[in-house]
Amino acid sequence: MRPLIVIGNWKMNGSLASNQDWVKTVARGMESGMPAGRKFVVCPPFPYLSQCAGMIKEHSLAFLSLGAQDVSAQSSGAYTGEVAASMLKEMGCSYVIVGHSECRLLHHEVDEVVAAKALEVLDNGMTPVICVGETADERNSGRAQEIVCGQVAKQVSVLQDRLADCLIAYEPVWAIGTGKVASAQVVQDMHRAIRLQLAEFDEDVASHVGILYGGSVKPDNAVELFAMPDIDGGLVGGASLNPQDFLAICQA
C-alpha cells in the first residue's frame, strides 16, 4: 500500500516571522492526529531550511519532514550559487524537488540534468521528487501523454532500479499558478500512463513508486483527487502558503 504524501512547496515566499506562524499553526492543527498512512513535507526556500528544521524539532513534529526545492547536479566545487545534496542532508532534509517546471523553463534544465540531480539526492540518502509535465500547447496538440511518458522514460534510463526510492510528481505546466485545474479523471489517466511507463521497466517498481499531482491542488479538489487509485498525494504550491489550507489538504 503506497502512503499518501502531501508536499508543500513555498517557492520564493516566506519570512522568519511568517514561517514561525506557519509551523505553529500546523503543529496545533495536527495535535489531534492525522489519518494513518500519510506523510507530510514542507519545502521552504534555502535560507529558511535551518529555521524550519529547528522549529520542526522544537515542536516535536514527527509527522512533518523537511524538503528542499532544488539541488545541484554537482557534489562540490566551483559552482557559485549552487547547493549540494550533502549540504541539504546536513540541514535535515529528507526530500528534494528536482526538475520542477519552473526550473526547466527558467534554468533550461533538460531530463539528463534532472536525472543527475536525482542521483545526487539518492546518493545522500534522501528522496528525490522528480517533476514531469506538459505545456498547454503539448496538451492541445494531443501529445500530453507522449511528452510526459517520454520524460519518465529518460529518468528510467538513468536511474534504473533506484527509481523505487523516488517519487514522481505530475505537474501540468498549464495548471501551475494559473487557477486552471485538470479534472480528477484527466489527472488519473496521466498518472496511470506514468505507472504503465514505469511498468515497462519493472512492474514491482511501478506498483511501489508514489506519483503525486502538482497542478493547483486546493482544499476543494483534494478529496476527489486523492480518491483516485493512481494519485498518491500532492505537490502543493500556492495553497501550502496558507497553513489552514495546507492542513485541509493533508486531511483530505
| 203 given a catalytic annotation | no
Q: Of 31, 100, 108, 138, which residue is the catalytic one?
A: 100
Report strand pairing: 127-132 vs 167-170: parallel
Distance CA 163, CA 172 (A): 21
| 31 given a catalytic annotation | no
Q: Of 109, 120, 134, 171, which residue is the catalytic one?
A: 171
Q: Is the Cα dihedral 174, 177, 183, 185 positive or negative?
A: positive
Contact residues for 228 (Cβ-Cβ < 8 A; gap 6+)? 184, 185, 187, 188, 191
Do residues 148 and 133 make contact, with C-beta atoms less than 8 angstroms apart? yes
Contact residues for 188 (Cβ-Cβ < 8 A; gap 6+)? 228, 229, 230, 231
- Residues with active-site annotation: 100, 171
